[in-house]
């Protein structure tokens, strides 16, 4: 049995999959845009995906554009002391129309980490997140592009159990959109939380290790096994 069984690739019979959720990328997709917060902006997992596609499928000329923005939310919320009180968190509502003007064929969106603004669960904040995600989905699809949502990575509960619980709730809601609204959702949250890790995911709880996040996106745990192999 192969140790690695890659499950995120590009079309003509090839599919993106997380656990048992396959998402086929049409052959006419030429431009893929990634949006999100600093996790996306850092470029680690997007670069790995780009490199894999270029090496594995050199005949597929797909442009990948990373338009992640540090600190951004889709909820539109911000702490009063964000950036020392100098300015609020960036809000996707302000720039999504400009992103869509470059006419992506497919958008990957990874939000949630900042959207609860690092506070214990609050229903009003949760509703802002849900409304923002629904708005983003509608705007992207109305532009003619397809969208695949990516859950937030986990937040190390040893550094903050209350906020780890917030992201658990947010991710559960997003995953539920698969069944209630037919959204395409890649669940990296559950993949990362599938094992009782004896280490911290990242030094600052946010910037997840490049290897761990990339294999989580592909549906693997820290030892390289896909869920189907266990």
**Number of domains forming the structure of the chain:** 1
Question: 199 in a domain, yes or no?
Answer: yes
Alpha-carbon distance of 147 to 145, in angstroms, equals: 7
Alpha-carbon distance of 135 to 110, in angstroms, equals: 14
Range of the domain at 129: 15-229
Structure tokens at 36: 């999100």
Question: 10 in a domain, yes or no?
Answer: no
**pLDDT per residue as tens digits for the range 148-159:** 999 998 887 888
Exposure on the CB side of residue 185, measured as CA atoms within 13 A: 23
pLDDT of residue 145 exceeding 50: yes
**pLDDT per residue as tens digits for the range 120-139:** 999 999 999 999 999 999 99
Structure pTM?
0.80
Alpha-carbon distance of 62 to 120, in angstroms, equals: 41
The set of residues, in sequence order, having a beta carbon less than 8 Å from that of 38 and lying 6+ positions away, is 68, 69, 70, 71, 206, 207
Exposure on the CB side of residue 191, measured as CA atoms within 13 A: 28
CATH number at residue 214: 3.40.50.1110
Question: 107 in a domain, yes or no?
Answer: yes
Question: 6 in a domain, yes or no?
Answer: no
């Amino acid at each position: 049995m192969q140790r690695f069984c890659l499950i995120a690739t590009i079309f003509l019979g090839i599919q993106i999959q997380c656990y048992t959720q396959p998402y086929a990328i049409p052959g006419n997709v030429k431009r893929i845009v990634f949006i999100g917060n600093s996790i996306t902006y850092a470029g680690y997992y997007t670069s790995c995906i780009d490199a894999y596609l270029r090496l594995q499928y050199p005949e597929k000329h797909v442009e990948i554009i990373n338009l992640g923005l540090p600190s951004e939310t889709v909820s539109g919320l911000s702490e009063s002391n964000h950036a020392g009180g100098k300015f609020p968190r960036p809000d996707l509502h302000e720039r999504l129309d400009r992103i869509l003007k470059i006419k992506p064929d497919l958008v990957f969106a990874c939000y949630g980490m900042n959207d609860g603004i690092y506070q214990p669960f609050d229903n009003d904040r949760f509703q802002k997140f849900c409304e923002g995600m629904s708005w983003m989905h509608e705007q992207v699809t109305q532009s003619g592009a397809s969208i695949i949502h990516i859950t937030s990575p986990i937040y190390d509960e040893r550094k903050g159990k209350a906020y780890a619980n917030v992201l658990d709730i947010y991710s559960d809601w997003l995953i539920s959109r698969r069944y209630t609204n037919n959204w395409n959702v890649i669940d990296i949250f559950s993949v990362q939380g599938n094992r009782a890790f004896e280490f911290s995911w990242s030094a600052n709880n946010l910037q997840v290790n490049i290897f761990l996040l990339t294999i989580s996106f592909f549906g693997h745990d820290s030892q390289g096994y896909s869920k189907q192999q266990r």
